[in-house]
Amino acid sequence: MSDGRCDNAVTFSVESGENIRLDVYLASETDYTRSRLKRLIDGGDILVNGEVCKCGRILKEGDFVTLTVPTDNAELPKPKDIPLDVIFEDDDIIVVNKQQGLTVHPGAGNGDTTLVNALLWRGTSLSDVNGAYRPGIVHRLDKYTSGVMVVAKNNVAHASLAKQFTERTVKKVYVAILDGNLKDDKGLLTTFIGRNPNDRKTMAVTKEGRVAITEYKVLERFPRNCVAEFVLHTGRTHQIRVHSKYLGAPVLGDKVYGSSDKRYSSLEGQLLHSRSLTITHPKSGEKMTFTAAPPEEFTRVYDSLKKQSIVGRIEA
């Protein structure tokens, strides 16, 4: 680092059944355009299984894609005293209930107020598979999505967890308050999700992209809202938020994806909560389920809806 340049490397694990071009895959995983990605690929800054390749490389299950973006004068994340709700911790993993409004790792516009900064403050040992900017991070939650997250404390644990996410053996259950009512009480939605061609910062249901599978169930209905449970069978960027919009009832408070209920215009972000996460412990092999109650703002809105007439409570 004597030349003032720091390389920010991120590794992606390709899930089963991808069979997708390298540039298309990374366009859906990052904010970069395919033309920018082509320059990075041609320059050797993107590797598949450690090897230089071309844009048209078809990715298959188990492939690892490493993206290295040179960043001039970049500073490494620094410890910062940010409160953390720790659900579980041992020598291999730490499980937290991420608060709404906390970004997971440093990025453009936010270099020191993230989950990573909070973990560093605790002195927690973290894996370095994803480089110095995303230590320990195996999966992510959006800034305004709260709830259960698991973080790897060493590289062996990271590899095990990454494999579980890639092979879809992790069970992720979310609960959300929606702006509107879903037509069906339950269903399984399968679409493609890719970058929105009209806004690269957002995602959309597209004709091509990456397969996204979401199982949903309405728990309670109110006159203008419903509470729904979502089980993710894939892990696409903004998947629940995009699918909720596609189904005609965006997540309440999600102005990016269409929530417009003026009664709750003061909400900082979407009322989407990761309620439970089931993993296999990297060392013991034990199946473990971690849960977290929704945050205060979620509960406050839910209580206000309960004061209205309940249209229907769905039986399990």
Q: What angle do CA 192, 175, 197 make, to 5 degrees?
A: 30
Phi/psi of residue 18, each to 5°? -70, -65
Q: What pLDDT, on the 0 to 100 scale, is given for residue 33?
A: 81
pTM of whole model > 0.85?
Answer: no
Please state, in angstroms and as integers, the Cα–Cα distance from residue 225 to each residue in 178, 187, 212, 216, 248, following that order.
6, 18, 24, 15, 11
Phi/psi of residue 2, each to 5°? -65, -20
Q: Report the chain (316 residues): mean pLDDT per 10 consecutive residues.
A: 47 76 84 84 87 89 80 72 96 98 79 90 89 87 97 96 91 97 97 88 89 96 96 94 98 96 93 98 98 97 86 54
Q: What pLDDT, on the 0 to 100 scale, is given for residue 145?
A: 97
Which of 149, 157, 163, 172 lies closest to 278, judged by CA? 172
Q: What pLDDT, on the 0 to 100 scale, is given for residue 29?
A: 79
Q: What pLDDT, on the 0 to 100 scale, is given for residue 219?
A: 97
Which of 84, 16, 88 lies closest to 286, judged by CA? 88
Burial class (CB in 10 A: 0-12, 13-18, 19+), 254: buried
Long-range contacts of 51-58 (CB under 8 A, 24+ apart): 53/22, 54/22, 55/21, 55/22, 55/23, 56/21, 56/22, 56/23, 57/21, 57/22, 58/19, 58/20, 58/21, 58/22
Q: What pLDDT, on the 0 to 100 scale, is given for residue 73?
A: 47
Q: What pLDDT, on the 0 to 100 scale, is given for residue 4?
A: 35
Beta strand 145-152 with 272-280 is parallel
Q: What pLDDT, on the 0 to 100 scale, is given for residue 6?
A: 42
Q: Which residues are catalytic?
A: 142
What's the rounded Cα separation, in Å, for the pair 217 and 240?
12
